[in-house]
Amino acid sequence: MNSNTNTNVANLELKIKSACTVALASALIVTFTVGCSSKNYVRSQTAPIIQQTNELDTKTAANHRGIADTDERAQKGIAGAQSAADTADQHAQAAGLSADTAGKSAKEAYNRVDSLSGVVANLDNYKPISDVSVTFAFDKAVLTASDKKQLDDLAAGLTTARGYILEVTGGTDSIGDANYNYQLSQRRADAVVNYLASKYNIPPHKFYLIGIGKDQQVASDHTAAGRAKNRRVQIKLMTNMADQPSGSAPASPNGQ
């Protein structure tokens, strides 16, 4: 009886162990299967996201390179434009300096005298062959169209003149400070000389000019008409050649 019981117990234990072994194996298989299925699912879901991320990274890198290239070209273009502008500005400044220097040199080459007696002393060997007067508005030293027309008519006679010079005398009315009027009359004489010299290419040494202010008036300063006539520049075309005809252009009757 005891022997049979022991045998039955042993058989039962063996069956239990086998059942446990089978259950454990089944559990491991299920766990492995579930684990593999989860990984496959995760991979299937994340793969498109990873691909899109990689594509975005590639596009972003390409955009950065494009932006960098564009910025570099833009910087080069800006630098080139700035360099060209600087060069043009330098050329303009150089041209301006050259023009100023030329104008200054021309003015310095004019024969300027301090008094009418100085003009006469320098012109003893010359005789007038024509003359003209241009007038100016009050406190002005700007040539009008009418003034320029008279100077053009005078300059037309230079084509046949030989051994000539131009005596240019600037004047003012008596209103205002005497020193200021001397300066104003000089500016008026300069305006005439600059116009003739630049338009007709007359050499500076051909001009003898002076500003006399109100020192030698050609009309009464008690009337507006007289003061207008005194605000003038008189230009005499003179020659040291005895065989040239003389003449006189009409003076301007009124101020501008």
Q: What percent of the chain has pLDDT over 90?
A: 32
- Sign of the CA dihedral 121, 211, 237, 100? positive
Q: How far apart are CA 33 and CA 175, in angstroms?
A: 120
Please, what's the largest Cα pairwise distance for the chain? 181
Residues 8-25: what's their mean pLDDT?
58
CB 174 within 8 A of CB 228: no
| Structure confidence at residue 121 (pLDDT) | 58
Helix (H, G, I), strand (E, B) or coil at 115: coil
Q: Average of pLDDT values for 30-47?
A: 54
CA angle 56, 58, 62 (to 5 degrees): 115
CB–CB of 179/138 below 8 Å?
no
180-233: pLDDT as tens digits: 999 999 999 999 999 999 999 999 989 998 899 998 888 998 999 999 999 999
Q: Name the least confident of 18-27, 66-75, 122-131, 161-170.
A: 18-27
pLDDT of residue 252: 40
**What is the predicted pLDDT for the residue at 53?**
62
Neighbour tally for 42: CB within 10 Å: 10
Q: Is the pLDDT of residue 67 over 90?
A: no
CA 235 – CA 210 distance, rounded (Å): 11
Q: Out of 111-125, 177-191, 210-224, 231-245, pick the least confident.
A: 111-125
Q: Report pLDDT for 255.
A: 38
pTM over 0.85: no
Q: Give the pLDDT band (50/70/90) at residue 148.
A: very high
Lowest mean pLDDT across 59-63, 161-165, 202-206? 59-63
Closest-CA residue to 205 (of 99, 134, 105) = 105
Confidence check: pLDDT of 20 > 70: no
Contact 233, 192 (CB under 8 A): yes
Q: Greater confidence, 165 or 77?
A: 165
Q: What is the DSSP string of 83-94?
A: HHHHHHHHHHHH
